[in-house]
Amino acid sequence: MRKIIILLLALYVSGSVWGQASARVDSLLLALKKAKVDTVKVNILNQLALETFTYDLAISKSYCRKANDLAQKCNFKRGKIETLNHLGRIYVYQNKFDSSIMVLKKAVALSKKYKLPNELITSHSRLGIAYMMASYNEKASKEFFTALKYAEKYNNLSKQQSIYVNLSALYLKVANIELATKYSNLALRLSIETNNKQGEALAYINLSVIENYKMNYRASLEYQKKSLEITQSLDLKEESAITYISISNNYFNLGKYQRSIDNSLVALEYFSKIENLAQLSQIYINLGKANFKLKNYNLAYENLNKAKEFSMNASYSQPLTLSYLYLSRLDSTRGDYKNALFNFQKYKNISDSSFFSSKEKVIAEIESKYQLEKKETENTILREREKANKARISNQRIVNIFLIAIILVFVILIVLVIKGNFKIKRINNLLVEKNTEIKITNDKLEEQNEEIELQKSNLVHQNQELVEQKKLITSSIKYALKIQMAVLPDKFQMDYLFSDYFIFFKPFQIVSGDFYWLKKINHHVILAVGDCTGHGVPGAFLSMLGISSLSEVVNKYESLNAADILNRLRNAIKKALKQNNPEMQAEDGMDIALCVLNTQTMMLQYAGAHRPLYLVVENSKYSQFDAFKESSSYQLTSNNTHTLIEVKPDKQPIGVFFKETSFTNHELKINKGDSIYLFTDGYTDQFDENEMDKFSSKKFKELLLSVQANKMRLQKKIIKQAFESWKSNAAQTDDVLVVGLKL
């Protein structure tokens, strides 16, 4: 999501101006028809490339190429540079970053050669955007500051404002919120000082993106409304429509899906009139996501397919990528896993071409290996046949020699002993019968050899089929892992909310039945660790159901009571698994530990289904342990410096249970420096190498108490080493997940 925001921001400002693009195309085409001078034609073609960029990349690129050919022909210096700058921006939008960098380097070189300051500023700035989108962040920074140096030297305030916005996008990309905010405010201040209303509106959009990244969606929405007020006062209809799209995104993030739809429909009314395919594709993506959340699945499917159609027609890869991604999620929700996998594969084909180029290389290597093995098999068959032929020739030679010897003996016997004629005939008949038997034996041997070769060929073919089936199954499971990892909280979200934490996640069979989930609502942070029934693919399906159900419960009811969240989650899981229907009841479910942390009051709520909470505190900072000792809901384990407080869960799962009760909500006052641990049972249930003993909760508590002097990153390393040392050469028995954080 952050990459998409940065791309939109960079392209938002790379054109330097906003405008009613499609309304001017006809007049430009008429001017091009009337133009007589080649340099004028080049300028008009470049302007056409700029105007058509927002709604059809293919047409925009064709105007660039025509302008370039004509500029080269008439040696129009500014025209050549402007064409290269337009083409570089188009390649960025198509994710062809290497091509963009190549043409923009040419633009920089020509600008320096011809000593054109404005073109030099634009070329360095565009090259910085290309480097940023290709993740060459240091090179991007160098280009932006070079452009800023020239803009300040020639007092080009408009270019300075644009570069400030680009620097803000770069620092947002590397998660440096402080510098991103600094340059956004510089852009805003410069716009206000120069009375640049359009620049001021754009600066508000930039600040809204930063607040969006920080998940402060309400603050982001306020900046968008300020931008909308300016664009409407200036009667900038296209810019207002674009802002409505941004507002729609924020209402979606706030869980106000109908408002998201309403704002998208306002933008749709405008862009449908001018047939702006890029914006239409984004609008229909927003409509599809919102209708999906409102469970209007048929309408969501129609919206996302329209988004895909417009993206393909306009050659915009980024909206097309999102279309396939959300179609995959929609198909998965509807139970159409075949189409879900198909659309996810389409999404990966576009968004990760380097991954699939390596896949093609692997396929080519497999094909080469197959052809080599096939040739070796054929050579083996030929050698066996040649060996059999030599054996037959040798046998025939022996028979021939033997016959010649008999004939000689027969002649001698005829000459010497006529009386032996009968005896010789008899011997001759016996030899004929023997020769016949030998021939029959040879035929049988040849048939047996053919049967052996046929069986060998069948075994080779069956082995190849098994290998291919294993590769196909493994590949599918790996795709499932990518889908599963995509819905887990990403590192940037965790880094933003927690400064000192670790996640030790070790699935048993590629995909996992364990999961962790994170949500921030105002100054409350909700963290959950779940363990679903089973592991591997069945466990992964339940984990996806658990994540989606947990998100739906929290977003729908906005409850900040831990026990209430688990009660509602249990109802959602039972409904999804049809456990309320006696005839279709499944005994599947999950164990879970869930915390709600108030970052202002430092009050911690906890509720658990079979999974406890471990809270580790310093003995010197915590004196009221007697209250915990008196309650059966807590168990204390101490060493010289720290005490581990185990908050016990309710002994019932998330799912059907013979004696269901409301989950217990525990509230604890915590202090800075306290450590919290949530985990599944995979770690403590792991057997040693002899498969005699489990690691056990007791050893796990002692291990946690022993590592409290260390940062969480080093704690993870020690906990992982302890697990591997205990397991040694034994097989892993279950999915393992441990989440630790220090407040």
Q: What are phi and psi of 534, to 5 degrees?
A: 80, 180
Residue with more model confidence, 646 or 511: 646
What pLDDT is recorded for position 374? 44
Tens-place pLDDT, residues 648-694: 999 999 998 888 999 999 999 999 999 999 999 999 999 988 777 89
Pairing of strands 666-669, 634-638: unpaired
Between 237-253 and 277-293, two packed helices, what is the crossing angle to 10 degrees? 20
What pLDDT is recorded for position 367? 36
Q: Kindly state the average pLDDT of the residues 93-104.
A: 87
**For residue 314, pLDDT beyond 70:** no
What pLDDT is recorded for position 701? 96
Q: How confident is the model at residue 703 (pLDDT cuts 50, 70, 90)?
A: very high
Beta-carbon contacts of 83 under 8 Å, excluding residues fewer than 6 positions away, are 42, 45, 46, 49, 64, 67, 68, 71
Q: Is 24 helix (H, G, I), strand (E, B) or coil?
A: helix
Between 21-34 and 257-274, two packed helices, what is the crossing angle to 10 degrees? 20
**For residue 618, pLDDT beyond 50:** yes
Residue linked to tokens 């040849």: 446
Q: Kindly state the average pLDDT of the residues 6-27.
A: 51
Q: Kindly state the average pLDDT of the residues 6-31.
A: 56
Q: Kindly state the average pLDDT of the residues 62-68.
A: 88
Q: How confident is the model at residue 103 (pLDDT cuts 50, 70, 90)?
A: very high
Q: How far is CA 30 from the centre of its chain?
A: 46
- pTM here is 0.45
Tens-place pLDDT, residues 424-464: 677 667 766 776 676 776 667 777 777 777 777 777 767 77
Q: Which two tokens stand for residue 711?
A: 């940062």
Q: What radius of gyration do the chain's Cα atoms show? A: 37
Q: How confident is the model at residue 713 (pLDDT cuts 50, 70, 90)?
A: very high
What pLDDT is recorded for position 370? 35
Helices (H), 21-136: 21-34, 38-52, 57-74, 77-93, 97-114, 117-133
Residue linked to tokens 């035929």: 443
In SS3 terms, 117-162 reads as HHHHHHHHHHHHHHHHHCCCHHHHHHHHHHHHHHHHHCCCHHHHHH
Q: What percent of the chain has pLDDT over 90?
A: 34
Q: Kindly state the average pLDDT of the residues 724-739.
A: 92
Q: Kindly state the average pLDDT of the residues 175-185.
A: 89
Give the CA distances from residue 637 to residues 644, 651, 676, 726, in Å, rounded to whole numbers and listed in that order.
5, 21, 15, 22
Burial environment of residue 592 by CB neighbours within 10 A (0 to 12, 13 to 18, 19 or more) = buried
What pLDDT is recorded for position 653? 94
Residue 380 CA to residue 373 CA, distance in Å, equals 10
**For residue 409, pLDDT beyond 90:** no
Q: How confident is the model at residue 420 (pLDDT cuts 50, 70, 90)?
A: low
Domain ranges of the chain: 1-167, 357-484, 488-742
Q: How confident is the model at residue 366 (pLDDT cuts 50, 70, 90)?
A: very low
Residue 71 CA to residue 81 CA, distance in Å, equals 9
Least confident of 209-218, 389-398, 629-638: 389-398
Q: What percent of the chain has pLDDT over 70?
A: 83
Residue 45 CA to residue 25 CA, distance in Å, equals 10
Topology adopted by domain 1-167? 1.25.40
Pairing of strands 654-655, 589-598: antiparallel
**How big is the chain, counted in residues?**
743
Tens-place pLDDT, residues 105-139: 999 999 999 889 999 999 999 999 999 988 899 99
Least confident of 322-326, 394-398, 485-489, 572-576: 394-398
Residue 125's CB: how many other CB atoms inside 10 A? 26
Least confident of 29-38, 207-216, 331-340, 462-471: 462-471
Highest mean pLDDT: which of 89-93, 281-285, 431-435, 457-461?
A: 281-285
Give the CA distances from residue 740 to residues 161, 674, 678, 714, 743, in Å, rounded to whole numbers and listed in that order.
43, 11, 7, 11, 10
Residue with more model confidence, 38 or 466: 38
Tens-place pLDDT, residues 20-40: 455 578 888 888 888 888 888
Do 64 and 83 contact (CB within 8 A), yes or no?
yes
The residues pairing with 644 across neighbouring beta strands, listed in sequence order, are 616, 637
Q: What is the mean pLDDT of the chain?
A: 82
What pLDDT is recorded for position 435? 67
**Sheet harboring 736-742: ordered strands across?**
501-506, 736-742, 675-679, 613-618, 642-647, 634-638
Do 489 and 520 contact (CB within 8 A), yes or no?
no
Do 221 and 208 contact (CB within 8 A), yes or no?
yes
Residue with more model confidence, 146 or 586: 146
**For residue 614, pLDDT beyond 80:** yes
Do 150 and 176 contact (CB within 8 A), yes or no?
no
Residue 163 CA to residue 170 CA, distance in Å, equals 10
- Torsion angle defined by CA atoms of residues 30, 33, 39 and 43, in that order, rounded to the nearest 10 degrees: 30
Least confident of 159-163, 357-361, 601-605: 357-361
Q: How confident is the model at residue 558 (pLDDT cuts 50, 70, 90)?
A: confident
Q: Kindly state the average pLDDT of the residues 297-306.
A: 89
CATH number of 488-742: 3.60.40.10
Q: Which residue spans within 553-665 are E strands per DSSP? A: 589-598, 603-609, 613-618, 634-638, 642-647, 654-655
Q: How far is CA 202 from the centre of its chain?
A: 30
